Amino acid sequence: MIVAQLLTATPRTFADGETLYGEAITTARLEIWKALSNGASAATVAIMDDNTIVYSEGFGMRNREESIGVDTSTQFNIGSISKVFTALGVLLLCDDGLVELDKPVTTYLPEFSMEDSRYKEITVRMLLNHSSG
């Protein structure tokens, strides 16, 4: 099992403007080591602030036979996690009032069609919870 995590930290800023990421880094490392001790074989973590990577580290082995470790440029298959990111993006659009979950998909994608005419009844919510048929 390969686990990949991306954590976003909210840094603490002190009076002198120094930003401290220590707590977030410690938490990230702890969570990764827990996952590794529970059977995960590899993971990476990145902590970002304002679109800048302030910390990144690879953990575990990408190839146990050849003792090749994971580093910050190791690529992982993301599997089904893309569904979560898609849903998050759609829900952010809902928060901004740009998408309504119970409107038909054709409201937003007029070119969407299927042979079965019931496609016009498929809502955004149905796609997100995989109940569109």
Residues acting as catalytic residues: 80
Q: What sign does the dihedral 71-76-81-86 (CA atoms) show?
A: positive
Q: How far apart are CA 66 and CA 68, in angstroms?
A: 6
Q: Are 95 and 87 in contact (CB under 8 A)?
A: no
